[in-house]
Amino acid sequence: MTVPGTTSPSSPLLRIADLHVDYKLPGWRTTPLRAVDGVDLTLAEGETLGVVGESGSGKSTIGRALLGLAPVTSGSIELAGHDITHTKAGDRKHIASDLQVVFQDPYGSLNPSRTVGKTLAEPLEAVAGADGSTALAEIRGLLSKVRLPDDAVDRYPNAFSGGQRQRIAIARAMAVNPKLIVCDEAISALDVVTQAQVLNLLRDLQRDTGVAFLFIAHNLPVVSYFSDRVLVLYRGRVMESGPAATIHARPAHPYSQALRAAVPVPDVAAQRVLRRQRQAVVRATTAQARPAPEQGCPFAPRCPHAAEVCWTTRPADTPFEDRVVACHVFDAASGHPQAGGAPDLVAGELAPTAP
């Protein structure tokens, strides 16, 4: 399945098909933990694909699998026409020039004992084989691109604030002019002003260089503001995917609706409405919810529209308007008592099922 709304019909920059990633848990004969459970996605050049979900949704694992930092159990990852599914990070010299990363924690992602200059020189040396003097000119260029002063070259990361460090991390990712940057919660640790500055910076860089972003975050409004298309992930599965604007304005899947209503807005009256909404779109708090079923829909324990079928059968990916939703309510053939009630569900007018 390909996400609708793909801008480039020819060959996409990135194609991930039926990706599964299992983590082996410590201990003898433990069942592995399925972090990513059959995810498909494509990403065109210069596009931004948002991946949104909560902790444990597998959103970061997708990024790490793409970067070769997590082993792929099954499925395939294709970058610019090359299969890189099982290429580990260590053997990626040829991929590194296309694919870079910005991590969440700006304090952990820079080596505290190396100057900013040395940190930025690293990808240049590794990929382009540049030596110190030629690299220096490029590094100064990079610093001005991310709007940091020239003299940052000789300073250590501890001289910079979280937002400035994140710019350094962005500069490191931009150093080799990659085609795709994985932003793994790149703005989640920043406060709101810095977050806005970094978002603006990323947008400018994209406009100037045509780089594509896989933008991973847990805040749906931020993701949909910044991305062209959005993938909503829950427990390793894609719940809903489609154009960012529609998902932001009218989230379809009950989980997307819960996610949308959970993020408070800075307006007292609007927030009062949203607060009522967020209590209506989930049946149980995470503390009260039963464990998710092995089969079936992972959101069933908290979903106000859950029915028998949700606990037993995995929902099919069903096209709805301009997106794809994995929910039995949207699938007329699912046997869900409310099947076909999709328009009401999206409008927030579908009555909850009996618990």
Partner 1 sequence: MTTTVPTPVGQEVGAATPAARAARPVGATARAVRQTLRRPAVLIALGWLVLVVVTSLLAGPLSPFDPLAQDLGSRLQGPTAAHLLGTDDLGRDLLSRILHGGGVLLLAAVVPVLVSYLLGVPAGLLVGYVGGKADAVADFVVNVLFAIPALVVVLAVSVVTDNNLPIMTVVFGVVVSGGIFRLVRASTQASRDLLYVDAARVSGVTRTTILARHILPNVLGPLIVQGFLLYSGAFLFLTSLSFLGLGFDPQEPSWGQLVFDATAKLDTDPWLMVPIGVVLIATVAALNYVGNALLATLPSSRRARLLTPTRRPVLPVADAHGTGSTAPAPLPAGPGGDEPRLVVEGLVVSFRGEDGRWQPVVDGVSFAVERGRTLCLVGESGCGKTMTALATLGLLPEGGAAAGSVRLGGQELIGLDEKAMARVRGSRIALVSQEPMVALDPCFSVRSQLGDVVRLHRGGSRADVRTRTLDLLRLVGIPNAERVGRSFPHQLSGGMAQRVCIALALAGEPDVLVADEPTTALDPTIQAEILDLLRSLQDSLGLALVLVTHDLGVVADIGDTAAVMYAGQVVELAPVEELLAAPRHPYSRGLLDAMPEDAERGVPLRTVPGVVPLPKDWPTHCRFAARCELATDACRTGPVPIEVVGPDHQSRCIRTAETARGVHPVATGGQS
Taking CB under 8 A as the criterion, which residues in 42-81 touch partner 1?
A: 54-55, 67-69
Q: Which amino acid, residue 216? A: I
For partner 1, the binding residue among 108, 132, 210, 348 (CB under 8 A) is 108
Q: Which of residues 293-352 bind partner 1 (CB under 8 A)?
A: none
268 part of the interface to partner 1, by CB under 8 A: yes
3 part of the interface to partner 1, by CB under 8 A: no
Closest Cα to residue 350, out of 302, 281, 299? Answer: 281
Q: How far is the CB of 36 from partner 1 (least distance, A)?
A: 18
For partner 1, the binding residue among 224, 241, 256, 318 (CB under 8 A) is 224
Q: Supply the DSSP string of 54-110, one letter for each residue.
A: -TTSSHHHHHHHHTTSS---EEEEEETTEE-TT--GGG-HHHHTTEEEE-S-TTTSS
Q: Which is nearer to partner 1, 166 or 334 (CB)?
A: 166
Q: Which is nearer to partner 1, 173 or 339 (CB)?
A: 173
Q: Which of residues 245-264 bind partner 1 (CB under 8 A)?
A: 245, 258-259, 261-264
Give the interface segment with partner 1, choosing from 75-83, 94-102, 132-140, 332-340 (CB under 8 A).
Answer: 94-102
Q: Sort strands 180-184 and 212-217 into parallel, antiparallel or unpaired.
A: parallel
Q: How many CA atoms lie within 13 A of 213 on its CB side?
A: 31
In the shown chain, the binding pattern of residues 165 to 184 toward partner 1, with x for contact by CB under 8 A and - for none, equals: ----x--x---x--------
Angle made by CA atoms 191, 195, 200, in degrees to the nearest 5? 160
Give the interface segment with partner 1, choosing from 78-86, 122-130, 325-333, 344-352 (CB under 8 A).
Answer: 122-130
Number of residues located near partner 1, criterion CB under 8 A: 86
192 part of the interface to partner 1, by CB under 8 A: yes
266 part of the interface to partner 1, by CB under 8 A: yes
Cα dihedral: 312, 316, 319, 325 (round 10): 50
In the shown chain, the binding pattern of residues 128 to 157 toward partner 1, with x for contact by CB under 8 A and - for none, equals: -------------------x-------xxx
20 part of the interface to partner 1, by CB under 8 A: no
93 part of the interface to partner 1, by CB under 8 A: yes
Beta strands per DSSP E along the chain: 14-23, 33-43, 48-52, 74-79, 82-83, 99-102, 180-184, 212-217, 229-234, 237-243, 317-320, 323-326
> Sign (positive/negative) of CA torsion 248, 253, 254, 255?
negative
Q: Sort strands 323-326 and 237-243 into parallel, antiparallel or unpaired.
A: antiparallel
